Protein backbone atom coordinates (compact mmCIF):
# COMPACT_ATOMS: atom_id res chain seq x y z
CA UNK A 1 0.00 0.00 0.00
CA UNK A 2 2.91 2.35 0.67
CA UNK A 3 4.11 1.70 -2.87
CA UNK A 4 0.65 2.67 -4.12
CA UNK A 5 0.85 6.00 -2.31
CA UNK A 6 4.31 6.65 -3.77
CA UNK A 7 3.03 5.73 -7.23
CA UNK A 8 0.38 8.45 -6.92
CA UNK A 9 2.86 11.15 -5.89
CA UNK A 10 5.96 10.33 -7.94
CA UNK A 11 4.54 10.85 -11.49
CA UNK A 12 3.91 14.52 -10.67
CA UNK A 13 7.65 15.16 -10.86
CA UNK A 14 9.14 12.28 -12.87
CA UNK A 15 7.85 9.85 -15.48
CA UNK A 16 10.22 6.95 -14.82
CA UNK A 17 9.26 6.07 -11.25
CA UNK A 18 5.97 4.46 -12.19
CA UNK A 19 7.75 1.85 -14.32
CA UNK A 20 9.81 0.82 -11.28
CA UNK A 21 7.12 0.67 -8.60
CA UNK A 22 4.84 -1.85 -10.31
CA UNK A 23 7.54 -4.57 -10.72
CA UNK A 24 8.78 -3.94 -7.17
CA UNK A 25 5.29 -4.29 -5.70
CA UNK A 26 4.55 -7.44 -7.72
CA UNK A 27 7.87 -8.96 -6.66
CA UNK A 28 7.12 -8.28 -2.98
CA UNK A 29 3.69 -9.91 -3.30
CA UNK A 30 5.23 -12.92 -5.05
CA UNK A 31 7.84 -13.24 -2.31
CA UNK A 32 5.25 -13.09 0.45
CA UNK A 33 3.10 -15.67 -1.34
CA UNK A 34 6.06 -18.04 -1.74
CA UNK A 35 6.80 -17.82 2.00
CA UNK A 36 3.26 -18.89 2.88
CA UNK A 37 2.03 -21.10 0.01
CA UNK A 38 -1.63 -22.04 0.09
CA UNK A 39 -3.02 -24.86 -2.02
CA UNK A 40 -6.48 -23.35 -1.82
CA UNK A 41 -5.21 -20.02 -3.18
CA UNK A 42 -3.69 -21.82 -6.18
CA UNK A 43 -7.01 -23.53 -6.88
CA UNK A 44 -8.81 -20.18 -6.68
CA UNK A 45 -6.36 -18.67 -9.17
CA UNK A 46 -6.88 -21.61 -11.53
CA UNK A 47 -10.66 -21.20 -11.34
CA UNK A 48 -10.34 -17.45 -11.91
CA UNK A 49 -8.22 -18.05 -15.02
CA UNK A 50 -11.10 -20.02 -16.55
CA UNK A 51 -13.76 -17.35 -16.09
CA UNK A 52 -15.28 -15.74 -19.21
CA UNK A 53 -13.55 -12.43 -18.45
CA UNK A 54 -10.12 -14.05 -18.20
CA UNK A 55 -10.68 -16.15 -21.33
CA UNK A 56 -11.69 -13.04 -23.28
CA UNK A 57 -8.54 -11.28 -22.06
CA UNK A 58 -6.39 -14.27 -23.07
CA UNK A 59 -7.94 -14.22 -26.54
CA UNK A 60 -7.33 -10.50 -26.97
CA UNK A 61 -3.71 -10.69 -25.81
CA UNK A 62 -3.10 -13.81 -27.90
CA UNK A 63 -4.59 -12.32 -31.06
CA UNK A 64 -2.55 -9.17 -30.51
CA UNK A 65 0.62 -11.25 -30.28
CA UNK A 66 -0.30 -13.24 -33.38
CA UNK A 67 -0.80 -10.04 -35.36
CA UNK A 68 2.91 -9.29 -34.99
CA UNK A 69 3.39 -11.79 -37.82
CA UNK A 70 1.99 -9.31 -40.36
CA UNK A 71 2.77 -5.91 -38.85
CA UNK A 72 4.67 -3.75 -41.38
CA UNK A 73 7.10 -2.45 -38.76
CA UNK A 74 10.03 -4.51 -37.51
CA UNK A 75 11.20 -4.82 -33.92
CA UNK A 76 9.34 -1.77 -32.57
CA UNK A 77 5.88 -3.38 -32.23
CA UNK A 78 7.37 -6.61 -30.85
CA UNK A 79 9.22 -4.71 -28.13
CA UNK A 80 6.10 -2.69 -27.35
CA UNK A 81 4.02 -5.87 -27.13
CA UNK A 82 6.54 -7.53 -24.81
CA UNK A 83 6.48 -4.54 -22.44
CA UNK A 84 2.68 -4.37 -22.50
CA UNK A 85 2.26 -8.11 -21.95
CA UNK A 86 4.77 -8.04 -19.09
CA UNK A 87 2.87 -5.17 -17.46
CA UNK A 88 -0.43 -7.05 -17.75
CA UNK A 89 1.17 -10.20 -16.33
CA UNK A 90 2.53 -8.28 -13.34
CA UNK A 91 -0.87 -6.72 -12.70
CA UNK A 92 -2.62 -10.09 -12.92
CA UNK A 93 -0.07 -11.67 -10.57
CA UNK A 94 -0.37 -8.81 -8.08
CA UNK A 95 -4.18 -9.01 -8.04
CA UNK A 96 -4.13 -12.79 -7.66
CA UNK A 97 -1.59 -12.78 -4.82
CA UNK A 98 -3.24 -10.08 -2.70
CA UNK A 99 -4.42 -11.21 0.74
CA UNK A 100 -7.93 -12.63 0.86
CA UNK A 101 -9.08 -9.66 2.95
CA UNK A 102 -7.80 -6.09 2.91
CA UNK A 103 -7.27 -4.72 6.39
CA UNK A 104 -9.12 -1.55 7.28
CA UNK A 105 -5.85 0.23 7.98
CA UNK A 106 -4.62 -0.64 4.49
CA UNK A 107 -7.93 0.31 2.92
CA UNK A 108 -7.70 3.77 4.47
CA UNK A 109 -4.37 4.34 2.72
CA UNK A 110 -6.14 4.47 -0.66
CA UNK A 111 -7.97 7.78 -0.05
CA UNK A 112 -5.04 9.10 2.01
CA UNK A 113 -2.55 8.49 -0.80
CA UNK A 114 -4.87 9.71 -3.52
CA UNK A 115 -5.82 12.78 -1.50
CA UNK A 116 -2.16 13.62 -0.93
CA UNK A 117 -1.55 13.22 -4.66
CA UNK A 118 -4.48 15.52 -5.46
CA UNK A 119 -3.23 18.22 -3.08
CA UNK A 120 0.34 17.96 -4.39
CA UNK A 121 -0.84 18.03 -8.00
CA UNK A 122 -2.98 21.12 -7.40
CA UNK A 123 -0.10 22.92 -5.68
CA UNK A 124 2.44 22.07 -8.38
CA UNK A 125 -0.05 23.00 -11.12
CA UNK A 126 -0.67 26.42 -9.55
CA UNK A 127 3.07 27.06 -9.21
CA UNK A 128 3.73 25.92 -12.77
CA UNK A 129 0.97 28.14 -14.15
CA UNK A 130 2.85 31.21 -12.94
CA UNK A 131 6.25 29.93 -14.00
CA UNK A 132 5.85 29.61 -17.76
CA UNK A 133 4.44 27.35 -20.44
CA UNK A 134 4.25 23.60 -20.01
CA UNK A 135 5.16 21.04 -22.71
CA UNK A 136 2.31 20.54 -25.16
CA UNK A 137 3.06 16.86 -25.78
CA UNK A 138 1.20 14.64 -23.30
CA UNK A 139 4.10 12.20 -23.14
CA UNK A 140 6.41 15.02 -21.97
CA UNK A 141 4.03 16.77 -19.57
CA UNK A 142 4.27 15.20 -16.11
CA UNK A 143 1.37 17.25 -14.73
CA UNK A 144 -1.06 16.13 -17.40
CA UNK A 145 -0.04 12.50 -17.00
CA UNK A 146 -0.50 12.77 -13.24
CA UNK A 147 -3.90 14.39 -13.81
CA UNK A 148 -5.07 11.47 -15.93
CA UNK A 149 -3.75 9.02 -13.35
CA UNK A 150 -5.64 10.88 -10.63
CA UNK A 151 -8.83 10.76 -12.72
CA UNK A 152 -8.55 6.96 -12.53
CA UNK A 153 -7.49 6.72 -8.89
CA UNK A 154 -10.37 8.86 -7.61
CA UNK A 155 -12.89 6.06 -7.98
CA UNK A 156 -11.43 3.19 -5.92
CA UNK A 157 -10.52 5.75 -3.24
CA UNK A 158 -14.14 6.92 -3.18
CA UNK A 159 -15.19 3.28 -2.97
CA UNK A 160 -12.94 2.79 0.06
CA UNK A 161 -14.56 5.79 1.77
CA UNK A 162 -18.02 4.48 0.89
CA UNK A 163 -17.22 1.11 2.45
CA UNK A 164 -16.43 2.93 5.69
CA UNK A 165 -19.55 5.09 5.46
CA UNK A 166 -17.52 8.32 5.15
CA UNK A 167 -19.88 10.10 2.79
CA UNK A 168 -18.97 13.68 3.73
CA UNK A 169 -15.28 12.88 3.38
CA UNK A 170 -16.01 11.26 0.01
CA UNK A 171 -17.75 14.40 -1.26
CA UNK A 172 -14.91 16.69 -0.15
CA UNK A 173 -12.33 14.30 -1.55
CA UNK A 174 -14.11 14.21 -4.92
CA UNK A 175 -14.23 18.02 -5.14
CA UNK A 176 -10.52 18.41 -4.36
CA UNK A 177 -9.51 15.65 -6.77
CA UNK A 178 -11.59 16.97 -9.67
CA UNK A 179 -10.21 20.46 -9.08
CA UNK A 180 -6.66 19.07 -9.18
CA UNK A 181 -7.37 17.29 -12.48
CA UNK A 182 -8.69 20.51 -14.00
CA UNK A 183 -5.72 22.55 -12.73
CA UNK A 184 -3.36 20.02 -14.30
CA UNK A 185 -5.13 20.54 -17.65
CA UNK A 186 -5.12 16.82 -18.29
CA UNK A 187 -6.50 16.26 -21.82
CA UNK A 188 -10.02 14.84 -21.90
CA UNK A 189 -10.10 14.52 -18.10
CA UNK A 190 -13.24 16.65 -17.73
CA UNK A 191 -15.46 14.73 -20.21
CA UNK A 192 -14.13 11.46 -18.81
CA UNK A 193 -15.00 12.46 -15.25
CA UNK A 194 -18.43 13.61 -16.42
CA UNK A 195 -18.99 10.19 -18.01
CA UNK A 196 -17.91 8.56 -14.75
CA UNK A 197 -20.25 10.78 -12.74
CA UNK A 198 -23.12 9.86 -15.06
CA UNK A 199 -22.38 6.15 -14.61
CA UNK A 200 -22.24 6.71 -10.84
CA UNK A 201 -25.62 8.45 -10.84
CA UNK A 202 -27.24 5.77 -12.99
CA UNK A 203 -25.99 2.90 -10.83
CA UNK A 204 -26.92 4.13 -7.35
CA UNK A 205 -29.51 1.71 -6.00
CA UNK A 206 -29.55 -0.35 -9.21
CA UNK A 207 -25.95 -1.32 -9.84
CA UNK A 208 -26.78 -4.68 -11.44
CA UNK A 209 -29.05 -3.14 -14.04
CA UNK A 210 -26.61 -0.30 -14.69
CA UNK A 211 -23.70 -2.72 -15.03
CA UNK A 212 -25.58 -4.75 -17.64
CA UNK A 213 -26.62 -1.60 -19.51
CA UNK A 214 -23.08 -0.20 -19.51
CA UNK A 215 -21.76 -3.56 -20.69
CA UNK A 216 -24.09 -3.48 -23.70
CA UNK A 217 -23.35 0.17 -24.49
CA UNK A 218 -19.57 -0.26 -24.25
CA UNK A 219 -19.59 -3.35 -26.46
CA UNK A 220 -21.76 -1.56 -29.01
CA UNK A 221 -19.46 1.47 -28.94
CA UNK A 222 -16.42 -0.68 -29.74
CA UNK A 223 -18.04 -2.92 -32.36
CA UNK A 224 -19.99 -0.19 -34.17
CA UNK A 225 -17.22 2.44 -34.03
CA UNK A 226 -16.37 2.26 -37.78
CA UNK A 227 -19.92 3.20 -38.81
CA UNK A 228 -19.54 6.89 -37.94
CA UNK A 229 -16.33 7.46 -39.96
CA UNK A 230 -17.76 5.54 -42.93
CA UNK A 231 -20.89 7.72 -42.95
CA UNK A 232 -18.84 10.91 -42.59
CA UNK A 233 -16.59 9.86 -45.47
CA UNK A 234 -19.48 8.95 -47.77
CA UNK A 235 -21.89 11.80 -47.03
CA UNK A 236 -19.98 15.10 -46.97
CA UNK A 237 -16.19 14.74 -46.69
CA UNK A 238 -15.47 18.21 -48.12
CA UNK A 239 -17.74 20.22 -45.80
CA UNK A 240 -16.63 18.99 -42.42
CA UNK A 241 -15.59 21.10 -39.43
CA UNK A 242 -12.00 20.73 -38.28
CA UNK A 243 -12.84 18.57 -35.26
CA UNK A 244 -14.48 15.94 -37.52
CA UNK A 245 -11.49 15.63 -39.86
CA UNK A 246 -10.07 12.57 -38.03
CA UNK A 247 -13.37 10.74 -38.56
CA UNK A 248 -13.23 11.41 -42.30
CA UNK A 249 -9.63 10.19 -42.37
CA UNK A 250 -10.64 6.98 -40.64
CA UNK A 251 -13.49 6.53 -43.11
CA UNK A 252 -11.05 6.98 -45.99
CA UNK A 253 -8.75 4.35 -44.50
CA UNK A 254 -11.65 1.90 -44.08
CA UNK A 255 -12.72 2.44 -47.70
CA UNK A 256 -9.22 1.51 -48.88
CA UNK A 257 -8.52 -1.32 -46.44
CA UNK A 258 -10.60 -4.13 -47.92
CA UNK A 259 -9.81 -7.51 -46.29
CA UNK A 260 -7.55 -5.78 -43.76
CA UNK A 261 -10.72 -4.78 -41.94
CA UNK A 262 -10.98 -8.39 -40.71
CA UNK A 263 -7.42 -9.06 -39.49
CA UNK A 264 -5.95 -5.55 -39.22
CA UNK A 265 -2.48 -4.34 -40.14
CA UNK A 266 -0.76 -5.85 -37.12
CA UNK A 267 -0.06 -4.59 -33.61
CA UNK A 268 1.66 -1.21 -33.51
CA UNK A 269 0.79 -0.27 -37.09
CA UNK A 270 -1.29 2.76 -36.06
CA UNK A 271 1.17 4.18 -33.52
CA UNK A 272 4.30 3.62 -35.61
CA UNK A 273 2.46 4.64 -38.79
CA UNK A 274 1.61 8.04 -37.33
CA UNK A 275 5.07 8.47 -35.78
CA UNK A 276 6.77 7.61 -39.08
CA UNK A 277 4.40 9.81 -41.14
CA UNK A 278 3.10 6.82 -43.09
CA UNK A 279 -0.47 7.69 -42.10
CA UNK A 280 -2.31 10.99 -42.45
CA UNK A 281 -1.42 13.75 -39.95
CA UNK A 282 -5.02 13.91 -38.71
CA UNK A 283 -5.30 10.16 -38.15
CA UNK A 284 -7.39 9.47 -35.01
CA UNK A 285 -5.46 8.80 -31.80
CA UNK A 286 -8.33 6.91 -30.18
CA UNK A 287 -8.04 3.38 -28.83
CA UNK A 288 -11.00 2.45 -31.03
CA UNK A 289 -9.07 3.36 -34.18
CA UNK A 290 -5.95 1.59 -32.97
CA UNK A 291 -7.80 -1.65 -32.26
CA UNK A 292 -9.67 -1.68 -35.55
CA UNK A 293 -6.64 -0.62 -37.62
CA UNK A 294 -4.16 -2.93 -35.88
CA UNK A 295 -6.27 -5.98 -35.02
CA UNK A 296 -9.36 -5.81 -37.23
CA UNK A 297 -12.78 -7.10 -36.32
CA UNK A 298 -11.38 -10.04 -34.32
CA UNK A 299 -9.44 -7.70 -32.07
CA UNK A 300 -12.49 -5.47 -31.68
CA UNK A 301 -14.56 -8.49 -30.66
CA UNK A 302 -11.96 -9.45 -28.06
CA UNK A 303 -11.77 -5.95 -26.60
CA UNK A 304 -15.56 -5.61 -26.55
CA UNK A 305 -15.85 -8.90 -24.66
CA UNK A 306 -13.27 -7.84 -22.06
CA UNK A 307 -14.81 -4.41 -21.46
CA UNK A 308 -18.39 -5.70 -21.39
CA UNK A 309 -17.51 -8.45 -18.93
CA UNK A 310 -15.71 -5.93 -16.70
CA UNK A 311 -18.83 -3.74 -16.48
CA UNK A 312 -21.05 -6.79 -15.96
CA UNK A 313 -18.93 -8.28 -13.16
CA UNK A 314 -18.36 -4.98 -11.34
CA UNK A 315 -22.09 -4.29 -11.42
CA UNK A 316 -22.61 -7.44 -9.35
CA UNK A 317 -20.26 -6.54 -6.52
CA UNK A 318 -21.36 -4.95 -3.23
CA UNK A 319 -24.17 -2.43 -3.82
CA UNK A 320 -22.38 0.29 -1.82
CA UNK A 321 -19.18 -0.15 -3.82
CA UNK A 322 -20.31 -0.99 -7.36
CA UNK A 323 -21.43 2.54 -8.41
CA UNK A 324 -17.99 4.02 -7.76
CA UNK A 325 -16.15 1.24 -9.57
CA UNK A 326 -18.54 1.48 -12.52
CA UNK A 327 -17.82 5.21 -12.61
CA UNK A 328 -14.11 4.47 -12.71
CA UNK A 329 -14.51 2.04 -15.59
CA UNK A 330 -16.56 4.60 -17.52
CA UNK A 331 -13.91 7.26 -16.88
CA UNK A 332 -11.07 5.04 -18.08
CA UNK A 333 -12.96 3.92 -21.18
CA UNK A 334 -13.79 7.53 -22.09
CA UNK A 335 -10.14 8.59 -21.81
CA UNK A 336 -9.16 5.69 -24.09
CA UNK A 337 -11.87 6.51 -26.62
CA UNK A 338 -10.98 10.19 -26.81
CA UNK A 339 -7.21 9.56 -26.94
CA UNK A 340 -4.26 9.98 -27.14
CA UNK A 341 -3.31 8.57 -23.73
CA UNK A 342 -4.18 4.98 -24.66
CA UNK A 343 -1.24 4.68 -27.05
CA UNK A 344 1.30 5.28 -24.27
CA UNK A 345 2.86 2.57 -22.09
CA UNK A 346 2.67 4.80 -19.01
CA UNK A 347 -1.13 4.87 -19.41
CA UNK A 348 -1.26 1.06 -19.39
CA UNK A 349 0.88 1.08 -16.24
CA UNK A 350 -1.42 3.61 -14.55
CA UNK A 351 -4.45 1.53 -15.53
CA UNK A 352 -2.72 -1.55 -14.10
CA UNK A 353 -2.12 0.19 -10.77
CA UNK A 354 -5.76 1.21 -10.78
CA UNK A 355 -6.79 -2.42 -11.35
CA UNK A 356 -4.77 -3.40 -8.26
CA UNK A 357 -6.57 -0.67 -6.32
CA UNK A 358 -9.89 -2.14 -7.51
CA UNK A 359 -8.84 -5.56 -6.21
CA UNK A 360 -7.86 -4.07 -2.85
CA UNK A 361 -11.21 -2.34 -2.45
CA UNK A 362 -13.18 -5.40 -3.55
CA UNK A 363 -11.45 -7.40 -0.81
CA UNK A 364 -12.02 -4.68 1.78
CA UNK A 365 -13.67 -5.28 5.12
CA UNK A 366 -17.33 -4.34 5.00
CA UNK A 367 -17.71 -3.28 8.64
CA UNK A 368 -18.22 0.50 8.94
CA UNK A 369 -17.83 0.82 12.73
CA UNK A 370 -15.84 -0.82 15.48
CA UNK A 371 -17.43 -3.85 17.18
CA UNK A 372 -18.93 -3.17 20.62
CA UNK A 373 -18.11 -5.51 23.50
CA UNK A 374 -20.77 -6.09 26.10
CA UNK A 375 -20.48 -8.24 29.23
CA UNK A 376 -22.76 -11.26 29.36
CA UNK A 377 -23.59 -11.62 33.03
CA UNK A 378 -25.24 -15.00 32.72
CA UNK A 379 -22.39 -16.71 30.90
CA UNK A 380 -19.51 -14.77 32.43
CA UNK A 381 -17.96 -13.73 29.10
CA UNK A 382 -17.87 -10.87 26.61
CA UNK A 383 -20.22 -10.78 23.63
CA UNK A 384 -19.31 -8.97 20.40
CA UNK A 385 -22.12 -6.88 18.90
Distance CA 184, CA 271 (A): 25
Can you give the residue ranges of every domain in the chain?
1-128+150-225+286-364
- Report the range of poorest mean pLDDT among 46-50, 111-115, 295-299: 46-50
Q: What is the pLDDT of residue 196?
A: 95
Q: What is the pTM assigned to this prediction?
A: 0.86
The three-state DSSP-derived secondary structure of 122-190 is HHHHHHHHCCCCCCCCHHHCHHHHHHHHHHHHHHHHHHHHHHCCCHHHHHHHHHHHHHHHHHCCCCCHH
Contacts of 377 (CB under 8 A, 6+ apart): none
Distance CA 333, CA 307 (A): 9
Task: Using the predicted structure, report yes or no on whether residue 202 has a pLDDT greater than 90.
Answer: yes
Task: Using the predicted structure, report yes or no on whether residue 384 has a pLDDT greater than 50.
Answer: no
Answer for the pair 174, 154: CB distance below 8 angstroms, yes or no.
yes
Task: Describe the crossing of helices 2-9 and 17-35 by its angle, rounded to 10 degrees.
Answer: 170
pLDDT in tens, 93-128: 888 777 778 777 778 888 888 888 888 888 888 887
Amino acid sequence: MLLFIISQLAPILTRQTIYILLPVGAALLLLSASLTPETRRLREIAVLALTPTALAAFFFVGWTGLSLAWTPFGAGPAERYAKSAATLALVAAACALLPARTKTSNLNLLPIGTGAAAAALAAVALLSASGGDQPVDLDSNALQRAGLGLALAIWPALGALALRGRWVSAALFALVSVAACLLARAPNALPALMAGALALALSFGKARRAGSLLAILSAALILLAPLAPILVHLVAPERLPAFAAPLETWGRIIANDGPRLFIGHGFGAAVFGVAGHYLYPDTPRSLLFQVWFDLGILGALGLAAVVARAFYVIGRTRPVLAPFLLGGLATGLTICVLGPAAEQLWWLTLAGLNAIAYALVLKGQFRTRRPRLEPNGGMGRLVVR
